[in-house]
Amino acid sequence: MAPALRLFGPHDWAARIPLLVSALGVIAMFGAVTRRRWPDPSAFFVSFTTIGCLAGAALLLTDAFLVFWFSLTALSLYLAFQPGVSAPRRRAWTLVAAASAVAGFLTKGAVAVILPAGIVFLWLLWERRLSTLQAQALLPSGLVLAALLAPLLVLIERHNPGFIRQFVWEEHVGRFLGTRAIQVHEEPPWFFLPVIPLLLLPWTFFLPRAIRVMVRKRAFGRDSYSRFLLVWVAVVAGFFSAGAGKLMSYILPAMVPMGLLLGRWGLAEPTEDSSADRALWRLGVAGIAILAAGIPIAWFAAFFQPSAWAPS
C-alpha cells in the first residue's frame, strides 16, 4: 500500500489499489479453474457478488491479501494432484504452491501453509488417491518453502529479537488455545453459523435449494471440484471455529468456494418440475428482492440520520 500512497497521494482510494489488484487476481485464478469444470457462469457470478467477497476486497486488512495467497496455494495443489497430471507439471504446480505459501505465511501466518495442505490431504483422502502424495512430488516444494522462509524469519528475528517466540507461540498457539496473556476476540464455537448467511447475502436464500439439489443429485459423489470446494470450506470454517479467537474476517478464505457451491447448485441448475423446487427458487428470489429494497432504506437512515430530526 505504501507505494500506492506515495504515487497517488494520501487518499482512501489510493490505499485500496493493491486490494483491487489482489481481488482481480483471485477472480482470474478461480475463473481459470472453474470455467473448465463448470461452463455455466452463474456459479462464478454468485461467488464474487456476495457481501463477504465485496467487503473483504475493500477493507484495509491483511486478510484480503491472505485470500490471494491462500487461494493460489490451494488451487495450485488442486491442479498438481489432478488425475493423469505428468510428473514435471505436478512439480511445477507444487513449486508455485510452495512460493505462494511463503508469501501467505509472511502476510498472515502459518494458516497460509497448514490449511491449504490440510485441504488437499483430506480431498485426496476422500477421493481415495492419497497415494499420489509421493516424496518426489513434495520434496522439491518442501525444500523451496524452507529455503525461502527460513532466511526471512532469521532476518526478521535479528532485527526484532523475540519475534519468533511472539509470532509463533503467542500469535498462533496461544491465540488458538486462548492461553495468551491478553486474549482478544473470544467467541463461542458456533460464532460463524450466523455470520456465514450474512456474508452470503444477497444469495443466502438460495442455500436451501443448493442443499436440496446437491443431496438429490449426489453432487459430491460425481463432481471432484465440488468435493474439493466443500473440503476447503469445512477446513477453514472448522479450524477457526475450534480456535478461541474469532473475527468475521477469518472466514474470508472460504467465501469464494462457498459462493461457487451456492451458485453452481443453487442457481445454475434448471428449475425442476416440482412444487418444492419452484418454492425454493421463489424463496431465493424473494431474498434478493428484500435486500434490494432494504439497502436504500439503510443507506438513507445512515446518511440522513432521521433520528437526529426528532425534538429533544
Q: Give pLDDT tens digits for 155-182.
A: 999 999 988 888 888 777 777 777 766 6
Are 105 and 59 in contact by the 8 Å Cβ rule? The answer is no
- CB neighbourhood size of 60 (10 A): 12
Q: What is the DSSP letter of 187?
A: -
Residue 36 DSSP symbol: H
pTM, two decimals, is 0.89
pLDDT value of position 124: 95
Highest mean pLDDT among 107-116, 180-189, 243-252: 107-116
The DSSP bridge partners found for residue 245 are 186
In angstroms, rounded to a whole number, what is the distance separating the alpha carbons of residues 110 and 36? 31
257-287 residue pLDDT tens: 999 999 999 988 888 888 888 888 888 888 8
Cis check: omega of the bond before 202, within 30 degrees of 0 = yes
